[in-house]
Chains A and B, each alone.
Chain A
Protein backbone atom coordinates (compact mmCIF):
# COMPACT_ATOMS: atom_id res chain seq x y z
CA UNK A 1 0.00 0.00 0.00
CA UNK A 2 1.48 3.37 -0.90
CA UNK A 3 1.81 6.03 1.77
CA UNK A 4 1.00 9.68 1.17
CA UNK A 5 2.45 12.66 2.98
CA UNK A 6 -0.49 14.92 3.73
CA UNK A 7 -0.36 18.50 4.96
CA UNK A 8 -3.36 20.07 6.68
CA UNK A 9 -3.25 23.84 7.07
CA UNK A 10 -5.75 25.04 9.65
CA UNK A 11 -6.67 28.71 9.48
CA UNK A 12 -9.20 30.84 11.26
CA UNK A 13 -12.22 31.48 9.08
CA UNK A 14 -12.59 34.89 7.45
CA UNK A 15 -14.16 37.30 9.91
CA UNK A 16 -12.96 35.40 12.99
CA UNK A 17 -10.71 37.58 15.12
CA UNK A 18 -7.07 36.51 15.15
CA UNK A 19 -5.39 38.25 18.10
CA UNK A 20 -2.06 36.48 17.45
CA UNK A 21 -1.98 37.63 13.83
CA UNK A 22 -2.94 41.16 14.86
CA UNK A 23 -0.20 41.26 17.50
CA UNK A 24 2.43 40.07 15.01
CA UNK A 25 1.27 42.60 12.45
CA UNK A 26 1.43 45.44 14.96
CA UNK A 27 5.00 44.47 15.86
CA UNK A 28 6.30 44.66 12.28
CA UNK A 29 7.10 48.39 12.36
CA UNK A 30 9.38 47.70 15.35
CA UNK A 31 11.46 45.56 12.98
CA UNK A 32 11.51 48.30 10.42
CA UNK A 33 9.35 46.25 8.07
CA UNK A 34 6.63 48.03 6.12
CA UNK A 35 4.15 46.95 3.49
CA UNK A 36 3.22 43.67 5.19
CA UNK A 37 -0.41 43.16 6.15
CA UNK A 38 -3.08 40.49 6.43
CA UNK A 39 -1.08 38.45 8.97
CA UNK A 40 -3.07 35.39 10.05
CA UNK A 41 -1.82 32.64 12.37
CA UNK A 42 -2.91 29.04 11.93
CA UNK A 43 -1.38 25.65 12.39
CA UNK A 44 0.06 22.93 10.18
CA UNK A 45 -0.61 19.24 10.80
CA UNK A 46 1.42 16.64 8.87
CA UNK A 47 0.19 13.07 8.49
CA UNK A 48 1.37 9.96 6.69
CA UNK A 49 -1.63 8.11 5.27
CA UNK A 50 -1.65 4.63 3.76
CA UNK A 51 -4.17 4.58 0.93
CA UNK A 52 -4.66 3.03 -2.49
CA UNK A 53 -4.40 6.42 -4.24
CA UNK A 54 -4.18 10.10 -3.46
CA UNK A 55 -7.94 10.57 -3.75
CA UNK A 56 -8.50 8.06 -0.98
CA UNK A 57 -5.79 9.69 1.15
CA UNK A 58 -7.49 13.04 0.66
CA UNK A 59 -10.91 11.63 1.58
CA UNK A 60 -9.56 10.13 4.80
CA UNK A 61 -7.94 13.40 5.87
CA UNK A 62 -10.86 15.59 4.83
CA UNK A 63 -13.14 13.41 6.95
CA UNK A 64 -10.70 13.81 9.86
CA UNK A 65 -10.71 17.57 9.35
CA UNK A 66 -14.50 17.75 9.46
CA UNK A 67 -14.85 15.59 12.55
CA UNK A 68 -11.74 16.32 14.56
CA UNK A 69 -8.85 18.38 13.22
CA UNK A 70 -10.80 21.62 12.87
CA UNK A 71 -13.62 23.30 14.70
CA UNK A 72 -15.88 24.39 11.81
CA UNK A 73 -17.34 27.20 13.92
CA UNK A 74 -14.06 29.11 13.73
CA UNK A 75 -11.63 27.21 11.48
CA UNK A 76 -11.12 26.15 7.85
CA UNK A 77 -8.68 23.55 6.56
CA UNK A 78 -6.72 23.18 3.33
CA UNK A 79 -5.55 19.64 2.56
CA UNK A 80 -2.51 19.02 0.32
CA UNK A 81 -1.52 15.49 -0.67
CA UNK A 82 2.09 14.94 -1.75
CA UNK A 83 3.29 12.19 -4.10
CA UNK A 84 3.17 8.64 -2.80
CA UNK A 85 6.12 6.71 -1.45
CA UNK A 86 6.08 2.90 -1.20
CA UNK A 87 6.51 1.62 2.34
Chain B
Protein backbone atom coordinates (compact mmCIF):
# COMPACT_ATOMS: atom_id res chain seq x y z
CA UNK B 1 0.00 0.00 0.00
CA UNK B 2 1.17 3.49 -0.79
CA UNK B 3 2.68 5.43 2.10
CA UNK B 4 0.75 8.43 3.36
CA UNK B 5 2.91 11.51 3.91
CA UNK B 6 1.52 14.09 6.32
CA UNK B 7 2.73 17.57 5.36
CA UNK B 8 2.37 20.10 8.16
CA UNK B 9 1.13 23.54 7.11
CA UNK B 10 2.03 26.44 9.40
CA UNK B 11 0.86 30.00 8.71
CA UNK B 12 3.62 31.10 6.33
CA UNK B 13 4.64 27.66 5.05
CA UNK B 14 5.04 27.89 1.28
CA UNK B 15 6.53 24.61 0.04
CA UNK B 16 3.78 22.22 1.13
CA UNK B 17 2.30 21.79 -2.35
CA UNK B 18 5.73 21.24 -3.90
CA UNK B 19 6.40 18.46 -1.39
CA UNK B 20 2.94 16.99 -2.00
CA UNK B 21 3.51 17.00 -5.77
CA UNK B 22 6.95 15.42 -5.44
CA UNK B 23 5.91 12.56 -3.14
CA UNK B 24 2.72 11.95 -5.12
CA UNK B 25 4.78 11.52 -8.29
CA UNK B 26 6.79 8.89 -6.39
CA UNK B 27 3.62 6.94 -5.63
CA UNK B 28 2.78 8.19 -2.13
CA UNK B 29 -0.43 9.74 -0.89
CA UNK B 30 0.05 13.31 0.36
CA UNK B 31 -2.11 14.81 3.06
CA UNK B 32 -1.81 18.40 4.25
CA UNK B 33 -2.11 18.71 8.04
CA UNK B 34 -2.96 22.18 9.39
CA UNK B 35 -0.87 23.36 12.34
CA UNK B 36 -3.91 23.58 14.61
CA UNK B 37 -4.72 19.89 14.20
CA UNK B 38 -3.80 17.61 17.08
CA UNK B 39 -3.51 14.35 15.12
CA UNK B 40 -1.46 13.25 12.14
CA UNK B 41 -4.39 11.08 11.09
CA UNK B 42 -2.58 7.90 10.13
CA UNK B 43 0.43 9.41 8.36
CA UNK B 44 3.32 6.98 7.73
CA UNK B 45 5.83 9.83 7.42
CA UNK B 46 5.74 13.51 8.27
CA UNK B 47 7.31 16.44 6.44
CA UNK B 48 7.66 19.94 7.85
CA UNK B 49 8.02 21.98 4.67
CA UNK B 50 9.89 25.17 3.89
CA UNK B 51 8.57 28.70 4.13
CA UNK B 52 8.41 31.37 6.79
CA UNK B 53 6.19 30.04 9.57
CA UNK B 54 4.74 32.96 11.55
CA UNK B 55 6.83 35.30 9.43
CA UNK B 56 10.01 34.12 11.17
CA UNK B 57 9.05 36.44 14.05
CA UNK B 58 11.48 36.22 17.00
CA UNK B 59 13.50 33.43 15.30
CA UNK B 60 12.64 31.02 12.46
CA UNK B 61 10.61 28.19 13.96
CA UNK B 62 10.42 29.72 17.45
CA UNK B 63 6.64 30.14 17.39
CA UNK B 64 5.75 27.22 15.12
CA UNK B 65 7.25 24.75 17.59
CA UNK B 66 4.40 25.57 20.00
CA UNK B 67 1.71 24.76 17.41
CA UNK B 68 -0.84 22.15 18.56
CA UNK B 69 0.26 19.73 15.82
CA UNK B 70 3.82 19.63 17.18
CA UNK B 71 2.80 17.46 20.15
CA UNK B 72 1.58 14.87 17.64
CA UNK B 73 4.79 15.22 15.61
CA UNK B 74 6.87 14.71 18.77
CA UNK B 75 4.88 11.62 19.75
CA UNK B 76 5.19 10.23 16.21
CA UNK B 77 8.95 10.84 16.28
CA UNK B 78 9.30 9.25 19.74
CA UNK B 79 7.69 6.09 18.38
CA UNK B 80 10.22 5.94 15.56
CA UNK B 81 8.11 7.45 12.79
CA UNK B 82 10.09 9.21 10.05
CA UNK B 83 9.96 13.01 10.32
CA UNK B 84 11.77 15.31 7.90
CA UNK B 85 12.09 19.08 8.21
CA UNK B 86 13.09 20.91 5.05
CA UNK B 87 14.56 24.43 5.35
CA UNK B 88 12.11 26.24 7.67
CA UNK B 89 10.97 22.78 8.81
CA UNK B 90 14.58 22.04 9.84
CA UNK B 91 14.58 25.28 11.86
CA UNK B 92 11.31 24.24 13.54
CA UNK B 93 12.74 20.81 14.49
CA UNK B 94 15.85 22.42 16.01
CA UNK B 95 13.75 24.93 17.96
CA UNK B 96 11.56 22.08 19.18
CA UNK B 97 14.62 20.23 20.46
CA UNK B 98 13.92 17.25 18.19
CA UNK B 99 17.26 17.89 16.49
CA UNK B 100 20.50 19.21 17.99
CA UNK B 101 21.99 22.58 17.10
CA UNK B 102 20.59 25.79 15.67
CA UNK B 103 20.48 27.67 12.37
CA UNK B 104 21.98 31.15 12.27
CA UNK B 105 22.10 33.85 9.63
CA UNK B 106 24.29 32.82 6.69
CA UNK B 107 27.91 33.70 7.30
CA UNK B 108 27.99 36.10 4.34
CA UNK B 109 24.64 37.71 5.33
CA UNK B 110 23.29 36.95 1.84
CA UNK B 111 19.98 35.26 1.09
CA UNK B 112 21.08 32.24 -0.94
CA UNK B 113 18.95 30.85 -3.75
CA UNK B 114 21.01 28.48 -5.86
CA UNK B 115 21.63 24.85 -6.70
CA UNK B 116 24.31 23.23 -4.54
CA UNK B 117 26.11 19.92 -4.59
CA UNK B 118 25.33 17.70 -1.62
CA UNK B 119 27.22 14.63 -0.50
CA UNK B 120 25.35 12.01 1.51
CA UNK B 121 27.04 10.83 4.69
CA UNK B 122 24.84 8.57 6.86
CA UNK B 123 23.34 5.48 5.25
CA UNK B 124 20.79 4.85 7.98
CA UNK B 125 18.73 8.08 8.36
CA UNK B 126 15.10 8.25 7.26
CA UNK B 127 16.21 10.36 4.30
CA UNK B 128 19.30 8.42 3.26
CA UNK B 129 18.51 4.80 4.20
CA UNK B 130 20.35 2.54 1.76
CA UNK B 131 21.78 5.52 -0.17
CA UNK B 132 25.52 4.79 -0.49
CA UNK B 133 27.63 7.23 1.52
CA UNK B 134 29.36 9.72 -0.77
CA UNK B 135 26.49 9.96 -3.27
CA UNK B 136 26.54 13.41 -4.91
CA UNK B 137 23.21 15.16 -5.42
CA UNK B 138 22.37 18.52 -7.07
CA UNK B 139 19.63 20.13 -4.94
CA UNK B 140 18.64 23.81 -4.53
CA UNK B 141 18.92 25.87 -1.36
CA UNK B 142 16.80 28.95 -0.63
CA UNK B 143 17.49 30.50 2.76
CA UNK B 144 18.89 33.35 4.84
CA UNK B 145 19.28 31.50 8.13
CA UNK B 146 20.92 28.23 7.19
CA UNK B 147 24.29 28.38 8.93
CA UNK B 148 24.26 25.23 11.04
CA UNK B 149 25.72 25.88 14.50
CA UNK B 150 26.30 23.63 17.49
CA UNK B 151 28.73 23.42 20.39
CA UNK B 152 32.01 21.61 19.55
CA UNK B 153 31.12 18.60 21.74
CA UNK B 154 27.73 18.34 20.04
CA UNK B 155 29.38 18.42 16.61
CA UNK B 156 31.81 15.71 17.66
CA UNK B 157 28.89 13.61 18.89
CA UNK B 158 27.07 14.02 15.56
CA UNK B 159 30.02 12.52 13.70
CA UNK B 160 30.56 9.75 16.26
CA UNK B 161 26.92 8.68 16.16
CA UNK B 162 26.49 8.89 12.39
CA UNK B 163 24.02 11.80 12.64
CA UNK B 164 25.40 13.86 9.75
CA UNK B 165 22.98 13.10 6.91
CA UNK B 166 24.19 15.35 4.09
CA UNK B 167 27.02 17.85 3.75
CA UNK B 168 27.80 20.58 1.25
CA UNK B 169 30.55 19.81 -1.26
CA UNK B 170 31.27 23.57 -1.32
CA UNK B 171 29.96 25.21 1.87
CA UNK B 172 27.75 28.17 0.83
CA UNK B 173 26.65 29.55 4.22
CA UNK B 174 29.33 28.90 6.83
CA UNK B 175 27.69 25.84 8.37
CA UNK B 176 29.86 24.06 10.92
CA UNK B 177 31.49 20.99 9.42
CA UNK B 178 29.84 21.77 6.03
CA UNK B 179 26.69 20.23 7.52
CA UNK B 180 23.58 20.57 5.35
CA UNK B 181 21.41 18.09 7.23
CA UNK B 182 21.44 16.13 10.49
CA UNK B 183 19.39 13.45 12.19
CA UNK B 184 18.54 12.60 15.77
CA UNK B 185 20.39 9.67 17.36
CA UNK B 186 17.84 7.14 16.16
CA UNK B 187 18.03 8.49 12.60
CA UNK B 188 14.25 8.79 12.15
CA UNK B 189 14.11 12.58 12.56
CA UNK B 190 16.03 14.48 9.88
CA UNK B 191 16.41 18.15 9.08
CA UNK B 192 18.15 19.69 6.07
CA UNK B 193 18.34 23.14 4.54
CA UNK B 194 18.30 22.06 0.83
CA UNK B 195 14.95 21.39 -0.86
CA UNK B 196 14.76 17.87 -2.33
CA UNK B 197 11.22 18.58 -3.62
CA UNK B 198 12.66 21.30 -5.86
CA UNK B 199 14.90 18.73 -7.53
CA UNK B 200 12.22 16.16 -8.27
CA UNK B 201 11.62 16.53 -12.01
CA UNK B 202 13.78 17.04 -15.08
CA UNK B 203 11.94 20.29 -15.77
CA UNK B 204 13.32 21.62 -12.48
CA UNK B 205 16.88 21.00 -13.64
CA UNK B 206 17.57 18.06 -11.37
CA UNK B 207 15.83 14.90 -10.23
CA UNK B 208 18.41 14.14 -7.55
CA UNK B 209 16.04 15.07 -4.72
CA UNK B 210 14.04 11.95 -5.57
CA UNK B 211 16.88 9.83 -4.17
CA UNK B 212 16.16 11.34 -0.74
CA UNK B 213 12.37 11.35 -1.03
CA UNK B 214 12.37 7.73 -2.22
CA UNK B 215 14.41 6.78 0.85
CA UNK B 216 11.87 8.62 3.01
CA UNK B 217 8.96 6.69 1.48
CA UNK B 218 10.88 3.44 2.02
CA UNK B 219 11.48 4.43 5.66
CA UNK B 220 7.74 5.06 6.03
CA UNK B 221 7.03 1.38 5.53
CA UNK B 222 9.62 0.09 7.97
CA UNK B 223 8.87 -1.63 11.28
CA UNK B 224 9.97 1.36 13.40
CA UNK B 225 7.24 3.42 11.77
CA UNK B 226 4.73 0.60 12.17
CA UNK B 227 5.09 0.74 15.95
CA UNK B 228 2.63 3.60 16.10
Contact = CB atoms under 8 A, between A and B. Distances in A.
Contacts of A74: 102, 104, 149
B208 to A, nearest CB: 30
Given A73-B150, A74-B104, A74-B149, A17 B174 contact: yes
Nearest to B151: A73
Sort A-B residue pairs by CB-CB distance and give the 5 closest, nearest first.
A73-B102, A74-B102, A19-B109, A71-B102, A19-B107
Nearest to B108: A19
Contacts of B95: 71
Contact of A16 (B58, B109, B149): B149
Contact of A20 (B59, B62, B109, B147): B109
7 contacts: A20-B105, A69-B58, A71-B59, A73-B149, A74-B102, A74-B104, A74-B149
A54 to B, nearest CB: 25
Contacts of A16: 104, 149
Interface string B107-133: 111000000000000000000000000
A16 B104 CA distance: 9
Interface of B: 58-59, 62, 66, 94-95, 101-102, 104-109, 147, 149-151, 174
A52 interface: no
Interface string A54-80: 000000000000001101011000000
B109 to A, nearest CB: 5
B110 to A, nearest CB: 10
Interface of A: 16-17, 19-20, 23, 68-69, 71, 73-74
A73 B99 CA distance: 12
Contact of B62 (A19, A68, A73): A68
Contacts of B94: 73
A73 B62 CA distance: 13
Contacts of B66: 68
Contact of B109 (A23, A69, A71, A73): A23
A2 B108 CA distance: 46
B107 to A, nearest CB: 6
A16 B101 CA distance: 12
A71 B107 CA distance: 18
Nearest to A16: B149
Given A16-B149, A17-B107, A68-B62, 13 more contacts: A19-B106, A19-B107, A19-B108, A20-B105, A23-B109, A68-B66, A71-B95, A71-B102, A73-B94, A73-B101, A73-B150, A74-B104, A74-B149
Nearest to A73: B102
B62 A71 contact: yes
Nearest to B149: A74
A28 B174 CA distance: 24
A29 B77 CA distance: 51
